[in-house]
């Protein structure tokens, strides 16, 4: 058997930055480590070509009567910049205390190896385990998974398992594990407002022209009520409100609104619909202006009426909201409110479905209707309490992992998102690290889940 | 005597770009041409040093009992860029038809030479003319005249004439001269709204944070009523509305609102207080957002709640509004409307007084109370009709020439702003030109004004 820490180091030594073609060798090297490892585990390995970075599939096959677990991970990593802020080189894995440092060690190479190691050990201990397993390891997660939908389509039949198991989310603390039971969806768009055919002198023309910046700020300002609610007719129609037990889970978190405020540095939090901050970042849909620009941005002033201006907007959607429906409603509100003295152009951006799953016993849910998933949740809950000392919290997350919604949409599968690591992991930042002290605990939980599903 | 066209060519051949220190030789060369010319005219020449570009003063002295006319002009020019759009080199004056092309030929070297030539000829024809004349020719007009106020202070006594004569404004057409009787003042400011101490992930924090861009757009949008009026308490308190005769002057202009709309390319004009577009650009105060920025401005999207955002704003003020008062009112409105969950910083920019003068006979005005100015206006009116075929129109202008307000404030002087040239002159643009066919007409008008003031 292999030592998972040594494999993680080998994976991190291969710089697999998906966004930069200069790292093609590191991408190939990382795939090679994985395919050799999977072959050694006697899995059937398939490298699926895509327009950018191949997907690695590795299967433990068996009769159709066996349950089938899909394990998701990604082998690509974020760029290492800024390099001078690293205390040890980004692609030279370095142990300090119980933490291993290096780009990708926590996102997602270490957490991915939790499940790879669990499967390897389980199959060694129980060669006859009645369980089908498919690893789905992509190389484009950090660039938005552009190829994954076509692989889900082309290989859909072989991926139609019972549920997906993955670790690509974080926990509130080292001993408090969180099972992520929801992700916000997303709709992105860009508004461009244009008026005069060129920047005009504000002395020569001011007073007779609808300034595109005035129109743009009026449109943007109109999208919220003063109480913080989104002012788009029908925006909240399909929102599923959090259940009382969900609010209780949040209340058990080791930190609350004051810590949230402090960590962001704002004078005060601001939420809609009487939510606490900790609730709002998980259960409220949002409409955020991510960027705005127009006219003169240099030093001092320039007395112009600018020709045009833009705003970039994204909405985060919560369970049951539909991106297409929300996009239509937001577009309609903007179109209706744009003054006729300027021209409006709205560009569609990408979108992603929100996703949620409810663990068994909380209500009549997919997890109850899917016996394998229900067993997995239950085993996970017990193993987390045994290994980490506290039962897991079930929390929806505020972020979006579009592939989770995509897998749910295309394959109809729910996910168990087992958190591995904490904010201290510095994902996407210099000095990314992974606490190897949690590795064996995670492996034990993963094994317990797989054993339970196999009814062993 | 000199040929004014040759002198203009010589002036234009000296590139006097005030904003760029690489043109120091051109600035010096232009001053040399002027000081030699003034000396040849037997004027007393003084070059007043300033922190950047000296002011040239040239005086025809005489007893205190003689009337005293100040003639303003500027010897600096705009940068010539973009050079590749010029049909002939910017600093090689080139005649095509009746137009002379070159940077600065119309702004302000040609129009300035109208008055220099008029004085030279007049003094040659009538060496005993009982008139004091002071040329005040600055070299910083294109960079906001930073040194002029201190020269007005230090040389105030010798500049306390009866009125100022200048040509630094345009006419509606070649044969329709306009006398500019007002300029808008200006107040500039910059708003910075900041929230989180760093850009936040909109998935992780969206819903609990007042997005600085949302706060900024709400503040900006609040500054106008839906009908276009400025929504700042007390903003219109001191506005002097245009008299009926002023509206009639505008109606005589060769072009109106439809031409204004066409020339700007907007779908429709937009004015407050039921003004026509042509009235609004002259008689309405404005509050314009000149630039805005914050968050992500690159391609595609970036899902952040930005740390901060800014907007640059200028107000154009009309006669009787006070920049300090308006600044206070705008600041107060912004402060009151800024949500408490973000931080606000307002930076003061420059300001300038609005200015207006009313020609004699229209009402009881400074021009009536100042007999020399009244005579000058009357002579100007008659000479313009004789030389150009049509009586002048009296129009307020929408732009701001801060030195006019400054001269009015420090020296108490009103101005006769005789338009020379049209939009075809391409001020500040490539292929700047000046129609020399208008030169002799302008000289005749200038002579008529000076003669009338001298009672000859």
pLDDT tens, residue by residue, A401-413: 878 888 998 999 9
Contacts of A191 in chain B (CB under 8 A): none
Same domain, B221 and B331: yes
pLDDT, tens only, A200-234: 989 889 999 999 999 999 999 999 999 999 999 99
Same domain, A216 and A337: yes
In this prediction, residues A160-172 reach a mean pLDDT of 95
> Burial code of B435-456, b = ≥16 C-beta within 10 A, e = fewer?
bbebbebbbbbbbbbbbbbbee
Best A290, A315, A426 residue to mutate vs chain B (most B CBs within 10 Å): A290
CA distances (Å), origin B201, targets A281, A316, A319, B207, B295: 11, 12, 20, 11, 12
Range of the domain at B420: 4-183+355-453
- pLDDT computed for residue A360 by the predictor: 82
Q: Where does a domain end: B352, B386, B403?
A: B352
Question: Which CATH number fits the domain that encloses residue A234?
Answer: 3.30.70.360
Angle at B120 between CA B117 and CA B121, to 5 degrees: 85
Q: Does B314 sit within 8 Å of A202, measured CB to CB?
A: yes
Same domain, A59 and A149: yes
List CB contacts of B110: < 8 A, sequence separation 6 or more: B8, B100, B420, B421, B434, B436, B439
Q: Residue A197 pLDDT > 90, yes or no?
A: yes
- pLDDT computed for residue A72 by the predictor: 97
**Which residue did the predictor score with more confidence, B425 or B456?**
B425
Q: Which helix (H) or strand (E) holds A267?
A: none
In this prediction, residues B433-454 reach a mean pLDDT of 97
Same domain, A173 and A232: no
Q: Residue B165 pLDDT > 80, yes or no?
A: yes
Q: Residue A362 pLDDT > 70, yes or no?
A: yes
Q: Does A213 sit within 8 Å of B291, measured CB to CB?
A: yes
- pLDDT computed for residue A364 by the predictor: 59
Q: Residue B367 pLDDT > 70, yes or no?
A: no
Question: Environment class of residue A294 by beta-carbon count within 10 Å: exposed (0-12), middle (13-18) or buried (19+)?
Answer: buried
Angle at B417 between CA B242 and CA B37, to 5 degrees: 175
**What total number of domains does chain B contain?**
2
pLDDT, tens only, A247-267: 999 999 989 999 999 999 999
Residue A406 contacts residue A141 (beta carbons within 8 Å)? no
Confidence of residue A367 (pLDDT cuts 50, 70, 90): low
Dist CA B107 CA A200 (whole Å): 19
pLDDT, tens only, A94-135: 999 999 999 999 999 999 999 999 999 999 999 999 999 999
Contacts of B300 in chain A (CB under 8 A): 349
Catalogue the E-assigned strands of A61-98: 68-74, 94-96
Q: Does A303 sit within 8 Å of B186, measured CB to CB?
A: yes
Same domain, B437 and B301: no
Q: Does A202 sit within 8 Å of B214, measured CB to CB?
A: no
Q: Does B271 sit within 8 Å of A316, measured CB to CB?
A: no
- pLDDT computed for residue B402 by the predictor: 79
**Which residue did the predictor score with more confidence, B402 or B233?**
B233
Name beta bridge partners: A417. Answer: A166, A180
Q: Does B303 sit within 8 Å of A291, measured CB to CB?
A: no
- pLDDT computed for residue A302 by the predictor: 84
Least confident range of A139-153, A167-181, B83-97, B353-367: B353-367
Dist CA A117 CA A446 (whole Å): 9
Contacts of B309 in chain A (CB under 8 A): 292
Structure tokens at A312: 């970039």
Å between B157 CA and nearest CA of chain A:
32
What is the chain B residue with the closest CA to A272?
B207
The runs of H, that is alpha helices, within A22-109 are: 24-40
In a domain, B254, yes or no: no
Same domain, A286 and A362: no
Structure tokens at B111: 């129009």
Question: Which CATH number fits the domain that encloses residue A437?
Answer: 3.40.630.10
DSSP letter, residue A425: G
In a domain, B256, yes or no: no
Confidence of residue A350 (pLDDT cuts 50, 70, 90): confident
Q: How many CA atoms lie within 13 A of A3 on its CB side?
A: 5
Residue A442 contacts residue A422 (beta carbons within 8 Å)? no
- pLDDT computed for residue A451 by the predictor: 98
Contacts of A170 in chain B (CB under 8 A): none
Å between A178 CA and nearest CA of chain B:
15
Q: Report the residue from B268, B278, B399 with minimal CB separation from A341.
A: B268
Q: Where does a domain end: B316, B332, B352?
A: B352
Q: Does B400 sit within 8 Å of A203, measured CB to CB?
A: yes
Residue A269 contacts residue B209 (beta carbons within 8 Å)? yes
Structure tokens at A27: 């991408």
DSSP letter, residue A337: H
Same domain, A14 and A152: yes
Orientation angle between helical segments A110-125 and A439-453, nearest 10 degrees: 50
In a domain, B274, yes or no: no
Contacts of B285 in chain A (CB under 8 A): 207
In this prediction, residues A28-42 reach a mean pLDDT of 98
Å between B169 CA and nearest CA of chain A:
11
- pLDDT computed for residue A437 by the predictor: 95
In a domain, B239, yes or no: no
Least confident range of A98-102, A353-357, A445-449, B298-302: B298-302
Dist CA A408 CA A387 (whole Å): 29
In a domain, B258, yes or no: no
Q: Does B291 sit within 8 Å of A306, measured CB to CB?
A: yes
Least confident range of A159-163, B140-144, B283-287: B140-144
pLDDT, tens only, A273-330: 999 999 999 999 999 999 999 999 988 888 899 999 999 999 999 989 999 999 999 9
Same domain, B410 and B339: no
In a domain, A259, yes or no: no
Same domain, A370 and A278: no
Q: Does A222 sit within 8 Å of B221, measured CB to CB?
A: yes
Confidence of residue B365 (pLDDT cuts 50, 70, 90): low
Name beta bridge partners: B396. Answer: B182
In a domain, B243, yes or no: no
Dist CA A17 CA A103 (whole Å): 9
In a domain, A264, yes or no: no
What is the chain B residue with the closest CA to A188?
B301
Confidence of residue B38 (pLDDT cuts 50, 70, 90): very high
Same domain, A198 and A297: yes
Q: Does B397 sit within 8 Å of A190, measured CB to CB?
A: no
Best A146, A206, A208 residue to mutate vs chain B (most B CBs within 10 Å): A208
Q: Where does a domain end: A333, A350, A367?
A: A350
Peptide bond into B108 cis (omega under 30): yes
Q: What percent of chain B has pLDDT over 90?
A: 83
Query: For chains A and B, what is the number of CB pairs under 8 angstroms?
Result: 282
Q: Does A292 sit within 8 Å of B295, measured CB to CB?
A: yes
Dist CA B185 CA B189 (whole Å): 14
- pLDDT computed for residue B81 by the predictor: 85
Same domain, B291 and B428: no
Q: SS3 for B187?
A: strand
- pLDDT computed for residue A365 by the predictor: 60
Best B190, B208, B334 residue to mutate vs chain A (most A CBs within 10 Å): B208
Q: Report the residue from B209, B224, B303 with minimal CB separation from A269.
A: B209
Q: SS3 for A347?
A: strand
Q: For residue A414, which of A367, A448, A446 has the smallest C-alpha distance?
A: A367
Angle at A104 between CA A163 and CA A432, to 5 degrees: 120
Same domain, A171 and A203: no
Residue A2 contacts residue A37 (beta carbons within 8 Å)? yes
Q: Report the residue from A208, A271, A291 with minimal CB separation from B260.
A: A208
Q: What is the rounded average pLDDT for all residues in chain A?
A: 94
- pLDDT computed for residue A314 by the predictor: 95
Distance, CA of A27 to chain centre: 21
């Amino acid at each position: 058997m292999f030592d998972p820490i040594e494999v993680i180091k080998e994976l991190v030594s291969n710089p697999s930055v998906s966004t930069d073609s200069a790292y093609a060798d590191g991408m190939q090297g990382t795939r090679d480590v994985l395919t050799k490892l999977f072959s050694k585990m006697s899995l059937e390995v398939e490298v699926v070509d895509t327009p950018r970075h191949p997907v690695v599939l590795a299967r433990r096959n068996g009769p159709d009567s066996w349950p089938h677990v899909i394990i998701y991970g990604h082998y690509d990593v974020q760029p290492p910049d800024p390099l001078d802020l690293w205390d040890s080189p980004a692609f030279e894995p370095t142990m300090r205390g119980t933490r291993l440092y290096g780009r990708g060690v926590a996102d997602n190479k270490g957490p991915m190896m939790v499940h790879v190691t669990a499967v390897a050990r389980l199959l060694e201990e129980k060669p006859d385990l009645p369980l089908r397993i498919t690893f789905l390891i992509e190389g484009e997660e950090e660039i938005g998974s552009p190829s994954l939908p076509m692989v889900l389509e082309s290989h859909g039949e072989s991926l139609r398992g019972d549920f997906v198991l993955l670790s690509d989310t974080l926990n509130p603390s080292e001993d408090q594990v969180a099972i992520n039971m929801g992700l916000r969806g997303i709709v992105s768009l860009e508004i461009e407002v244009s008026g005069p055919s060129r920047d005009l002198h504000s002395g020569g023309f001011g007073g007779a022209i609808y300034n595109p910046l005035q129109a743009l700020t009026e449109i943007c300002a109109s999208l919220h009520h003063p109480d913080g609610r989104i002012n788009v007719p029908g925006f909240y129609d399909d929102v599923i409100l959090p259940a009382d037990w969900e609010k209780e889970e949040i209340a058990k978190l080791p930190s609350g609104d004051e810590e949230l405020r402090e960590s962001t540095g704002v004078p005060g939090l601001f939420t809609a619909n009487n939510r606490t901050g900790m609730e709002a970042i998980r259960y409220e849909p949002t409409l955020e202006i991510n960027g705005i620009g127009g006219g003169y941005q240099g030093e001092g002033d320039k007395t112009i009426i600018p020709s045009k201006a833009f705003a970039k907007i994204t909405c985060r959607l919560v369970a049951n909201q539909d991106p297409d429906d929300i996009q239509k409603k937001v577009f309609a509100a903007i179109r209706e409110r744009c003054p006729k003295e300027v021209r409006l152009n709205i560009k569609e951006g990408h979108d992603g479905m929100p996703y949620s799953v409810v663990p068994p016993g909380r209500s009549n849910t997919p997890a109850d209707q899917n016996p394998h998933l229900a067993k997995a949740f239950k085993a996970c809950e017990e193993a987390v309490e045994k290994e980490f000392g506290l039962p897991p919290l079930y929390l929806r997350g505020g972020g979006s992992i579009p592939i989770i919604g995509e897998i749910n949409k295309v394959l109809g599968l729910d996910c168990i998102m087992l958190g591995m690591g904490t904010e201290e992991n510095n994902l996407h930042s210099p000095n990314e690290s992974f606490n190897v002290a949690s590795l064996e605990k995670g492996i034990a939980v993963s094994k317990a889940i797989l054993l339970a599903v196999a009814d062993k």
